[in-house]
Amino acid sequence: MKKKIGFVAIGQAGGNIGKLFEDRGFSVLYLNTSQEDLRTIRNAKYTYHIAGGEGCNKDRAKAKRLVVKDFDSISREVYEKMDVSMVYVIFASGGGTGSGCGPMLIDLLLGDVASGEGRIESIGAITVIPDEKESPRAQINCYECFEELTAIEGIASVMAIDNSKGDRLALNQRLVSVFSDFIEIPNRHKDVRGNIDRAEIEETLKAKGMLVVTKVPAKESTTAAVLESFKKSAFAPIEPDMVIKYMAISSAGDVDVDAMRKEVGIPVDVFRTYNDRSTICCLAGLNYPKTRLEAVYRKAVENQELILKNLQAVSEPGMKKGVDFLSPARPSAAEAKPKASRRELMKKYMG
């Protein structure tokens, strides 16, 4: 599976997570508007400095303009360096470079996937939700980033690290560790009672919506412990009224899948195997963390008056004035328009 999955790491936060994946043998391409940030990634095999960039200082609009100007070169780097069938784009939702570039780049690359360019078949995302103590600008960027991310048609699974849950580096390591263990299940976990194959892992990863993974040692592997571990994981909280598409679980100990269904929802399908070392459980196709994002929104609007004053004093073309996060209702699937052209997508993201 490691040969099938690659990562495009954008910005400093994306680069930090990407390096953890590269150290585990995955293929990673680092993109940044800051040459200085790229130089901090030691022994990186593939790096690319987005032309004209000198950092974005949490300015999403600036990041988007740079991507528009340099997209042909960026996409060429992705297709030349990523000899994989699935790509995850990694970025922080509260920053500038990653938050501005991430959703836009995913949408543009999916247009190429739809037209059959290259061998990449699906594109997902790994993003970071800022801690509540971070600046109002970071909260604004996060909410606007998720507005764009959730509207992308054809995107695969999205994983979200919630920085309010603890030390950032530890959270990054936890996500990378459990994700790596999960995709290795077909190689490492075999049992006469049933197995999970690579196709089932891929189907789980490709499901649109949020994806969360947890791991519990064999001695602690009870149904209650596995459910509790999701709350303590690096991922954004699971919504109370959850929609779920897949559950994939390799269980050790006494884990009752039927009891788990009552707590997490009824999945379309369950993929299951067994082992004697630990329980690894993945839930995929979940609804986005609306409750957590509403907290982000409230944190931003608490400072609305100050933000408005600052933006009116120093504004840039294309930047929104005010905390106007809530856009009109999006069209239903039945009303969805045909896939936009690359030029139309660029205009959409540039407002």
Average pLDDT for residues 145-155, to the nearest whole number? 93
Q: What is the pLDDT of residue 156?
A: 96
CB atoms within 10 A of CB 52: 11
Average pLDDT for residues 25-33, to the nearest whole number? 95
**In degrees, to the nearest 5, what angle opens at C-alpha 195 toward C-alphas 222 and 258?**
40
- CA dist list (Å): 301 to 128, 228, 241, 260, 308: 20, 32, 26, 37, 10
Residue 89's Cβ-count burial label (10 Å; 0-12, 13-18, 19+) is: buried
Q: What is the pLDDT of residue 324?
A: 44
Report residue 201's pLDDT band, with 50, 70 and 90 as the boundaries: very high
Report residue 343's pLDDT band, with 50, 70 and 90 as the boundaries: low
pTM: 0.87
pLDDT above 70 (res 320): no
Beta carbons within 8 Å of 130's beta carbon, 6+ residues apart: 92, 93, 94, 138, 139, 142, 163, 296
Residue from 136, 65, 128, 47 nearest 93 by CA: 128
Residue from 134, 135, 133, 56 nearest 102 by CA: 56
Q: What is the pLDDT of residue 346?
A: 67
Return the bridge partners of 271, or none: 248
The mean predicted confidence, pLDDT, of the chain is 86
Q: How far does Cα 37 stand from its chain's mean position?
A: 21
Q: Which residue has the higher pLDDT, 243 or 7?
A: 7
Report residue 321's pLDDT band, with 50, 70 and 90 as the boundaries: very low
Cα distance between residue 53 and residue 33, in whole Å = 4
% of the chain at pLDDT higher than 70: 86
pLDDT above 60 (res 239): yes
Beta carbons within 8 Å of 278's beta carbon, 6+ residues apart: 181, 215, 216, 217, 218, 221, 252
Structure confidence by residue, pLDDT tens digits, 265-307: 889 999 999 999 999 999 999 999 888 999 998 888 877 666 6
